[in-house]
Amino acid sequence: MNKTRKWFKDYKFYLLLIYILAATAFVAQTFISKLIPLKYIAIVAVILLLLGLAFWFLLFSKRINKFNRAFGVFLTVVLAISMIVGNVYLYSTYSALGSIASDDDKEIGISIVVLKDSKYKTIEDLDGQPFGRATNLPDTNVDKVQEELTQTYSDTLEMKNYESVNDFADALYNKEVEAILLNEGSRGLFDEKHPKFNEETRVIKTFKYTEEAVNIAKPVDVTKDPFVMYVSGIDTYGSVQTVSRTDVNMLLAVNPNTHQILIVSIPRDYYVAQTCQGDALDKLTHTGIFGIDCSVSTLENFFGMDINYYGRVNFSSLVDIVDALGGITVNSPVAFSGCEYSFVAGENYINGNEALAFVRERYSLSGGDNDRVKNQARVISGIIDKATSPSILTGYVGLMNSLSNSFQLNMTSDELSSLVQMQLNDMKGWKINQVSVSGSGETNWSPANGFNSYVMRPNMDTVEYAKELMQKVLNGEIIDESQL
């Protein structure tokens, strides 16, 4: 009995217990996460069991001298800490994948906007005053706000309808109305006619609504079957679920059998028939105002192929991810400046804000939007290079946190986990190629804007060639760099 009490008081017992608990939790976490192939889990479990027996022998055997016992204590501490750290890494990865892989609801904000020098400060102050709304972008959420105002005010709500966002902005500036109901996703539409709109107006109140996401995924076995993914970058900060214009548009043809990815970059101003506007021609970026499902269906029709999955990022996403990586290296073929940053011809080591400037600038580039989409692909390449380098281990948890908060993907967590497991199982590298579709700039009618705007008329030769290359990747053919 005394020996048992002494044994329980022995710190070595608790040390070994901590190791056993940490090792058990680590093995359980690897199994639950589905990130590690079963054959590796089995090997790790056997090794940890044998190490546990060895540590017990080193810690408690009477035949072990003090030096070897001390060495056993040291090894037990190191391995226990390693298991705890490993659990943190696995949990961060699994949690991030769960957050990323979700069809999150859309977040929509409808704001009551007045001129900056307006005497009206609250909703109540606007009782009896005329409001304006745009009718070219049907929005049931604007209807909800209008109904709420009708019930709030004692006087009859005077709502003036305008055929375009531009018209009802003019009405606000000309004092035809004292306030407008603005879908925050369409705020960027004011840039051309009223570039200082944000500085010259203020928001009295924003009504926030959520719309249930529609599952538009076309699932395949992502470890065996080729698939196409659409990557959308929206022009907002904050929540990635916010509905807004899509400034970055890429199609990724992925073949897990040949470990080949083809990135097809598409200009934001591409003048394409839009499914959400009755197939009217408009800028591709405007599909984002109607939601990711509109962007996907529009591109499916334009390219004549199914898009299996989509991923969404925004300005905050890019800044957070690049900073979590500790910066990335991008190669620029020319020197240029934009958004208060300058870049040299050749290698540039950039942080998150610089990366954002790099992908957004087009006015100082000779090819305009055609060159910008190429720079966007260069940043994606830089992120992949850094994320797959050994140096990422020091910032791994930070990167996972950034991804979980700033990236949205409509794959399931099981699909993502199976991709990770496949990569760990065969450890093959991926061949990544990039091609851009191009076009020529012109001025033409934009239904979303309600006036003539700069658009890019697609060069269908480049579109057909991109489709041909994507089909080759999906068919398992290897793309040679000379074909790009």
Report pLDDT digits (tens) over 126-150: 999 999 998 887 678 899 999 989 8
Show the DSSP H helices in 101-229 as ranges: 140-152, 165-173, 197-200
Token couple for 99: 């957050």
Q: Are residues 384 and 321 in the same domain?
A: yes
Residues 443-463, mean pLDDT to the nearest whole number: 94
Give the domain extent around 169: 106-211
Q: Are residues 62 and 137 in the same domain?
A: no
Token couple for 444: 């033409």
Question: Within 13 Å, how many C-alpha atoms sit on residue 125's CB side?
Answer: 12
| Rounded-to-integer distance, Cα 86 and Cα 30, Å | 10
Q: Are residues 237 and 351 in the same domain?
A: yes
Residue pair 270/284 in contact (Cβ under 8 Å)? The answer is yes
| Rounded-to-integer distance, Cα 384 and Cα 372, Å | 19
Q: Are residues 39 and 119 in the same domain?
A: no
**CA dihedral angle for residue 55, residue 60, residue 64, residue 70, rounded to 10 degrees:** 60
| Rounded-to-integer distance, Cα 354 and Cα 244, Å | 22
Q: Are residues 284 and 136 in the same domain?
A: no
Q: Which amino acid is at 156?
A: T
Show the DSSP H helices in 388-412 as ranges: 396-406
- pLDDT bucket at 8, cuts 50 / 70 / 90: very low
Evaluate whether residue 221 is within a structural domain: no
Cα angle for residues 156, 158, 160 (degrees, 5° grid): 160
Q: Are residues 67 and 146 in the same domain?
A: no
The tally of domains found in the chain comes to 3
Report pLDDT digits (tens) over 180-239: 999 888 888 888 888 899 999 999 999 998 877 778 999 999 999 999 999 998 877 666
Token couple for 418: 């199976």
Question: Within 13 Å, how many C-alpha atoms sit on residue 164's CB side?
Answer: 14
| Rounded-to-integer distance, Cα 416 and Cα 238, Å | 24
* E strand spans, 61-152: 106-115, 131-134
CATH code, domain with 204? 3.40.190.10
**CA dihedral angle for residue 456, residue 231, residue 194, residue 149, rounded to 10 degrees:** 130
Evaluate whether residue 218 is within a structural domain: no
Report pLDDT digits (tens) over 46-99: 999 999 999 888 888 888 888 888 888 899 899 999 989 888 878 877 777 777
Residue pair 399/392 in contact (Cβ under 8 Å)? The answer is yes
Q: Are residues 235 and 142 in the same domain?
A: no
| Rounded-to-integer distance, Cα 110 and Cα 185, Å | 9
pTM of the model: 0.81
